[in-house]
Chains A and B, each alone.
Chain A
């Protein structure tokens, strides 16, 4: 039994090493004074200095964050409304056809989404810039928000709404003080997924962006196509650090909350 556990742990550790190898490889060479990723030359902060003086790249990072936040907010709003509308559908057929349409963008390959949106924007005569990218990111983030919010609405106790109405709440009060707080965890999860989708996207943005606007993914792609550039390595080290800190914070928060889970859960259920 002990032996089997050792083997299991070994397999997982090797897998994790492989998963992290490329990332650490990038970070390792971000400290090398050379121009390539073959031999480590001398230790240097040079590439980090270039990175922090590269105002163009810093602006692109800010743009990418802004785009993610904005598209996430809009997609969460429309998606939550959509989920509410789907749940309130009168017939089963209406509900299932709405859900089917909702999932079209979830299963479409990115190139198809990108290419069809490009045709769509051109047909409308919209110019390709921040606006077209924002609209696309909102569009492909809405379905995941719907899928995250929907189960929460289903789980919700419908008598809560009736009780609020009986107690004289207006329909706006029912919406803002009963419905939204009850499904908040789903809304937050949807917003979080929308952020991830937006930050992660390359293919769709690549199709629908013009000369004036670019995101981090597109910028890395065009730099990588020109060959090795150790400034990109420095950038990935920074990104890894930010992600690591975020994940650690999340982990300790969730560990702490799982300790007090019992009390919390009762609070949420009420």
Chain B
């Protein structure tokens, strides 16, 4: 392709990169190291690392994101595996993807009814004489709904990875006398790891920012960094502090990605 032709294709795309990728990141970094008058200050970072609240919140965010990812994985892996054994796989897959097309907010809204004091779950519990349990506006409710929302996004990549495995490999492992557990541990799991990894990446990072869920069903308390950012930007209007938390979230995100990326490198070296 001649040079001037390439420039014609490149210019709008580069414009997008500069305006909407690089500049916003620079701006959020700039806001985090200035005060409301635009003067340089490190006060925001001192506030973040000086107070237990923010540090506890960071740990909380990571912990919740970890739990959400773990529960989603535990539920989704068997489902993805079983799907590859089914007839009419395309139809089953379609059934699993369909709920992701319903707006996330609507699904969260449904749980307000389901988990409420007089909602379905409590009516069910009362059949066994268990008193109404307050589930709405708890951390449990937040994790439950987040797992519910993320399940299809974990099933799909794992399903694709398992479907790509040559069945002969599994048969070979069984023929050579491996137990079911050994076949899973040493054959199926490592071969399906790329799918698991992309599932984890698709869930761990977004679950750091599910502020609407913590608002609607987590009880309006600021328990994760995502909620804190929303609070500082939309309610208290302290954008500089919000930007600082944003920078910290970005750093955490990069660390998480480096960890998962590194493990992949280590594996291929073996």
> Given known contacts A38-B113, A207-B233, is B103 in contact with A119 (CB within 8 Å)?
no
Chain A residues with CB under 8 Å of B27's CB are 116, 119-120, 123
Contact B102 A239 (CB under 8 A): yes
Measured CB to CB, the nearest residue on chain B to A227 is B112
Q: Which residues of B contact A (CB under 8 A)?
A: 1-2, 5-6, 8-10, 12-13, 16-17, 19-25, 27-28, 31, 75, 78-79, 82-83, 85-86, 90-92, 94-99, 101-114, 116, 118-120, 123, 148, 151-152, 201, 205-206, 208-209, 211-212, 215-216, 226, 229-230, 233-234, 239, 242-243, 246, 249-250, 253, 257
Does A70 make an interface contact (CB < 8 A)? no
> Roughly how many angstroms separate A183 CA and B226 CA in the complex, as a whole number?
38
A4-12, A42-50, A262-270: which lies at the interface: A4-12
> Roughly how many angstroms separate A118 CA and B28 CA in the complex, as a whole number?
10
How many residues of chain A are within 8 Å of chain B by beta carbon? 79
Contact A109 B208 (CB under 8 A): yes
> Given known contacts A23-B99, A119-B243, A171-B5, is B116 in contact with A38 (CB within 8 Å)?
yes
> Roughly how many angstroms separate A90 CA and B226 CA in the complex, as a whole number?
40
Chain B residues with CB under 8 Å of A244's CB are 98
Contact A19 B151 (CB under 8 A): yes
> Given known contacts A11-B82, A78-B16, A119-B243, is B103 in contact with A111 (CB within 8 Å)?
no
Chain A residues with CB under 8 Å of B94's CB are 247, 251
Q: Among A26, A104, A111, A251, which residue has its beta carbon within 8 angstroms of that of B230? A: A111
> Roughly how many angstroms separate A118 CA and B243 CA in the complex, as a whole number?
11
A-B contact count (CB 8 A): 220
| A/B interface sample: 27 pairs, CB < 8 A | A15-B79, A20-B99, A37-B116, A37-B119, A78-B12, A81-B8, A81-B10, A81-B13, A82-B13, A98-B17, A107-B201, A108-B250, A111-B229, A111-B230, A112-B229, A112-B249, A115-B242, A117-B20, A142-B13, A221-B105, A221-B216, A225-B216, A236-B102, A236-B109, A236-B110, A243-B101, A247-B101
Q: Among A86, A120, A235, which residue has its beta carbon within 8 angstroms of that of B24? A: A120
Contact B24 A119 (CB under 8 A): yes
Contact B246 A116 (CB under 8 A): yes
Shortest CB distance A216–B (Å) = 7
Does A29 make an interface contact (CB < 8 A)? yes
> Roughly how many angstroms separate A110 CA and B110 CA in the complex, as a whole number?
22
Residues 190-233 (chain A) with a chain B CB within 8 angstroms:
196, 199-200, 202-203, 206-207, 216-217, 220-221, 224-225, 227-228, 232
